[in-house]
Copies of this chain bind each other. A is one copy, B any other.
Amino acid sequence: MTGPSSLGPAGPAAAPADGLVRYRDSGVDRGAAGGLVPQLAQLARATHGPQVLGGIGGFAGCFALDAGAVGDPVLVSSTDGVGTKIKVAVAAGRHRGIGHDLVNHCINDVLTTGAAPAFFLDYFATGRLDGAVLLELVAGMTEACQAAGCALLGGETAEMPGVYGIGDYDLAGFLVGLAARADLLGPERVRPGDHLLALPSSGLHTNGYSLVRHLLARRELSYDVVLPGCDRPIGALLLEPHRSYLEAVRALRELGTVHALAHITGGGIPENLPRVIPDGCRAEVDATRVSVPALFTALAALGPVPEAEQWATVNMGVGMIAVVPPETAAAVAAAGGRLAGLQALPVGQVVAASGPDRCHLDLGGRE
């Protein structure tokens, strides 16, 4: 237990004029949050189909399960944040894309099991509520949910003076999807000879932002700078929303069997691809086949960041890797390699291998 210096949001304060203390004197304005509920509920309603029972405003959201629609149903759930990408959004005053980031990050995680998104909830916490920022974020979440046929079922708004700075906030998302047990994807389906198909990312997605902010700060560069080879200011490139692979994965599954999907997030390919490679196998990735976007090479040059370190930190232009049998890889190639508009790139194969290393990344001898 410590002394009073650690207690109040802003230390000892003057007494109000009438000598009485009210909740808002502590930096929390319940009225401000409550006043937004009708607008937030209206946004969320646009995502509600007949499965959503009741409205926003209850203590919990209710989603009627059409259990007959899938045999032996499995609920698949993931929670994610967007990391310090929030700092870039706050600096730019652009928040809608962060709503897309949050939903799409969760969708991609749930997709890896073969599940389809069903409903989403968000947790928003800030130092002092700025209604315009929250409405932009929720508008973004609503757009991403609608695009995925997913209900925005509920959320929590917390004002936490003293934990968050005045303009700062954090955001967590939680998504539940539904799969038939017999259709679950994962490492247990993967075998030697499977092909690896890489789907392009839209940028850094939601990982590596602390590193990027550090790199820019070291060089005293602002978000307005256009780095070599880039077509837009770095701030705009950094705020590009996390891509959803829902449609691409649907298109892939229509073309053939899929064994596993790895969502390439923090830790890059070396940390995420092994999560779907079983004992006795290793993924051999030819990284020289990946056309690394200028954003990544320009950022690496700022450090410089060692090449292996960068591959092990950020996605380097690959947001999802599908592990598929040779027949599916052939069907994708025959279809021109395009999946719902995204170019699927063959980047390697699964081989039989003993030892703990589940993934080998060939950087072409560059490191």
Interface residues of A (CB under 8 A from B): 1-4, 6-13, 15, 19-23, 25-28, 30, 53-54, 57-65, 67, 72-81, 83-84, 86-87, 91-92, 108-110, 112-113, 115, 118-119, 121-123, 125, 153-156, 158-164, 168, 170, 172, 174, 176-177, 179, 181, 184, 186, 208, 210-211, 213-218, 220-224, 233, 235, 262-263, 266-267, 271, 275, 302-306, 309, 313
For A161, list chain B residues within 8 Å (CB). Answer: 84, 210
- The 8 A-B pairs at the shortest CB distance, nearest first, are namely A8-B217, A21-B303, A26-B214, A123-B172, A174-B174, A67-B67, A60-B78, A7-B217
9 A-B pairs within 8 Å (CB atoms) are namely A1-B224, A19-B304, A26-B215, A60-B76, A64-B181, A78-B154, A81-B125, A84-B162, A84-B163
CB of A305 within 8 A of CB of B22, answer yes
CB of A217 within 8 A of CB of B77, answer no
- Among B54, B83, B123, the residue within 8 A (CB) of A79 is B123
Identical copies of this chain, number = 2
Please give me the residue from chain B that is nearest to A266 by CB atom.
Answer: B30
CB of B224 within 8 A of CB of A162, answer no
By secondary structure, the A interface counts as mixed
For A83, list chain B residues within 8 Å (CB). Answer: 158, 160
For A221, list chain B residues within 8 Å (CB). Answer: 4, 7
Please give me the residue from chain B that is nearest to A187 by CB atom.
Answer: B58
For A159, list chain B residues within 8 Å (CB). Answer: 210
